[in-house]
Amino acid sequence: MKNTLFIAAILAGILGSAGIAAADNFPVKPIRIVVPFAAGGAIDIIVRTSGQQLSKELGQPVLIDNRPGAGGNIGAEIVARSQADGYTLVAGTSATHGVNPSLYAKLPYDVRRDFIAVAHIAGVPNVLVVTPASGMRSLEDLIKQARANPGKLSYGSAGSGTSLHLAGELLRGEARIDLLHVPYKGAAPANTDLLGGQINMMFSTVPVALPLIRSGKLTALAVTAKKRHFALPDVPTFPELGYASVESETWTGLFAPAGTPRDVVDAIARGMERALGDKAVADQLRQQGAEPQFMGPESFGRYVESEIARWSGVVRAAGIKLE
């Protein structure tokens, strides 16, 4: 009996050492990051830009796998069901890991149970835009028109429950105005209809709106952030205009399947911290209108919890529910 226990202890030690060695050598093969949205969008650009440098930091290829659909739920579910070894990650967002837990009646994954937060990468605030033809030059102009025409002014979004939609709900509630929400299947068709005059306004992510603002095709009225955006220094924030609760950011960060070894999680987090510390990467993200901001597993996890709590109240107040 003693011999059996002794042998078992030796085997356990050997296996444990092998596990540590494997983690110490991580990664030994390419890492896949599932982006749960289409290529070319703000999230995709952020992840590809930081992922290229992450590949250099970790010494292995970082492959981007776009799996759009169902508000990001399809891609998130793929990773939730993947092997917990650090080689399959998801670029979780304010939608998949912030809003969707409250928005969808049946979510195919549990943010708290199925994932572990690894690293926050960057955030992008939203900006309220109109066309020059609208005659609106300020947020005050817009609110005056909305109050004079209840339910007549329409705003587009990339879909029900997206940060662009919820930013409109925040404004509607804070300013006590009646707006008509027009959901689209993505930001691109919403932008097209805004430029064509089919809708009156929309909240857009800064990277998407920036070229149109700079070209004069759109007018920026306010940014949904605590401080002015570095790419739009002349555009006021909602809080400074007296609408303190109108803050909405599209953020993204890496999540691994629950059960991923902590030393593997830490290795990826350290790699991303170094990647975002690279000046060329930070400059490239800022050129796209994104603000790089690293958070490690603990701080990012706390941030995600605060986002879930915040958006659940907004979703509930707006009475939004998706199947």
pLDDT digits (tens, 9 = 90+) for 180-217: 999 887 778 888 999 999 999 999 988 889 899 999 99
Q: What is the CATH number of the domain that holds 182?
A: 3.40.190.10
Tell me which residue range forms the domain holding 195. 125-241
Burial of 65 (0-12, 13-18, 19+ CB in 10 A): middle
pTM score, whole prediction: 0.83
Q: What is the predicted pLDDT for the residue at 23? A: 58
Nearest-angstrom CA–CA distance, 94 and 149: 32
CB 44 within 8 A of CB 38: yes
**Residue in 245, 251, 253 with CA at minimum distance from that of residue 272:** 253
DSSP conformation class of 125: E
Q: What is the predicted pLDDT for the residue at 98? A: 94
Provide mean pLDDT across the span 124-150: 95
**Residue in 18, 16, 30, 52 with CA at minimum distance from that of residue 274:** 52
The reply to whether 90 and 152 lie within a common domain is no
The total number of structural domains that make up the chain: 2
Burial of 199 (0-12, 13-18, 19+ CB in 10 A): buried
Strand runs (DSSP E) across the chain, as ranges? 31-35, 62-66, 88-93, 115-130, 154-157, 180-183, 201-205, 219-223, 249-257, 291-295
Q: Given 220, 241, 262, which residue is the final one in a domain?
A: 241
Q: Given the structure tokens 């967002």, which residue do they identify?
A: 93
Q: Given 215, 241, 267, which residue is the final one in a domain?
A: 241
In a domain, 9, yes or no: no
Q: Tell me which of 27-36, 111-120, 159-168, 222-231 is least confident.
A: 159-168
Q: What is the predicted pLDDT for the residue at 1? A: 47
Residues 6+ apart with CB under 8 A from 226: 237, 239, 247
In a domain, 176, yes or no: yes
Q: Given 210, 241, 272, which residue is the final one in a domain?
A: 241
Tell whether the model's pLDDT for residue 177 goes beyond 90. Answer: yes
The reply to whether 157 and 220 lie within a common domain is yes
Nearest-angstrom CA–CA distance, 294 and 291: 10
pLDDT digits (tens, 9 = 90+) for 279-320: 999 999 998 889 999 999 999 999 999 999 999 988 888 888
The reply to whether 168 and 88 lie within a common domain is no
Residues 6+ apart with CB under 8 A from 40: none
Residue type, 257: P
pLDDT over 70 percentage in the chain? 92
In a domain, 52, yes or no: yes
